[in-house]
């Protein structure tokens, strides 16, 4: 499969050959769904946390004596039936949403996602992404020249702090290194942008 090769002005004078094993993978919806679900679960943060009767404050002594008052017996104000008492069966921060998935499945799901982007003309390959000023407006100008609409993922061939700082404040643009690419990040955006050096990094990392 071939894709247009753009320069920073948005002009395309030639095409670049995309690796067949990466950008022409057969669609497997079940595999893709399973991998994305696992990756999404592994990123989930446990936020909700309620206190049980052993964690709430108070209840150091018996509210009233066991017999003789005419009222029901109680042992602690921390009981879930009391106002301000502990919560019964509430969410806690001890929950674990981690799921395991083997590397072959994750790699194949990545290839499927990349192939789908290439098939739908949502892949933009840049001849070069070397910035002169490392300012946000320079990266924004490149996106404007490419006439990209919607959310995009910029795939860098390696860690480039200056480029990341120049692009991280742009709305609807995410950044990731090529060796950390995954199906979830790809399916979370509409377009994929990367320099042609990133293709080599993706091939060396995932298509061994």
Q: Which of the four pLDDT bands, split at 50, 70 and 90, describes residue 112?
A: very high
Q: Label residue 2 by pLDDT band (50, 70, 90).
A: confident
User: How far apart are the C-alpha atoms of 174 and 170, rounded to whole Å?
Assistant: 8
pLDDT at residue 192, rounded to an integer: 96
Report the pLDDT averaged over residues 94-110: 93
Q: How are beta strands 191-195 and 123-126 bridged, if at all?
A: parallel
Distance CA 124, CA 180 (A): 19
Which CATH code fits 2-44+101-206?
3.40.1370.10
Q: What is the C-alpha to C-alpha distance for residues 176 and 39, in angstroms, rounded to an integer?
A: 16
pLDDT tier at 58, thresholds 50, 70, 90: confident
Tell whether the model's pLDDT for residue 208 goes beyond 80: no
Element (H, E) at 17: strand 12-17
Q: Tell me what the mean pLDDT of segment 38-47 comes to.
A: 93
pLDDT above 80 for 38: yes
As a dihedral over the C-alpha atoms of residue 73, residue 77, residue 80, residue 85, rounded to 10 degrees, the angle is 170
Q: Encode pLDDT of 63-85 as tens digits.
A: 999 999 999 999 999 999 999 99
Average pLDDT over residues 12-24: 90
> pTM to 2 decimals?
0.84
SS3 assignment, position 195 = strand
Q: What is the mean pLDDT of residues 123-149?
A: 91
The fraction of the chain above a pLDDT of 70, given in percent, is 100
- pLDDT value of position 181: 96
Average pLDDT, the chain: 93
pLDDT number for residue 66:
96
Pairwise CA distance, residues 3 & 119, whole Å: 10
pLDDT 10s digits, 184-207 = 999 999 999 999 999 999 999 998
pLDDT tens for 148-172 read 989 999 999 998 899 999 999 999 9
pLDDT at 172: 93
125-161 burial code (b ≥16 CB/10 A, e <16): bbbebebeebeeeebbebbeebebeeebbbbbbeebe
Q: Per-domain residue ranges for the chain? A: 2-44+101-206, 48-96
């Amino acid at each position: 499969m071939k894709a247009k090769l753009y320069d920073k002005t948005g002009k395309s004078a030639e095409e670049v050959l995309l690796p067949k094993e990466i950008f022409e993978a057969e669609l497997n919806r079940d595999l893709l769904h399973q991998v994305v679900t696992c990756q999404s679960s592994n990123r989930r943060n446990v936020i909700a946390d309620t206190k049980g009767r052993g964690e709430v404050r108070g209840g150091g002594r018996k509210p009233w004596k066991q017999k003789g008052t005419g009222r029901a017996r109680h042992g602690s104000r921390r009981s879930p039936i009391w106002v301000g008492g502990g919560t019964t069966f509430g969410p806690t921060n001890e929950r674990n949403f981690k799921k395991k998935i083997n590397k072959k499945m994750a790699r194949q799901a990545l290839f499927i996602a990349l192939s789908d982007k290439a098939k739908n003309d949502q892949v933009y390959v840049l001849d070069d992404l070397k910035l002169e000023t490392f300012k946000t407006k320079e990266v924004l100008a490149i996106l404007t020249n490419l006439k990209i609409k919607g959310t995009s993922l910029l795939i860098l061939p390696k860690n480039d702090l200056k480029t990341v700082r120049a692009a991280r404040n742009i709305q609807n643009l995410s950044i990731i290194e090529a060796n950390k690419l995954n199906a979830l990040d790809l399916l979370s955006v509409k377009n994929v942008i990367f320099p042609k050096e990133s293709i080599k990094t993706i091939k060396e990392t995932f298509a061994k």
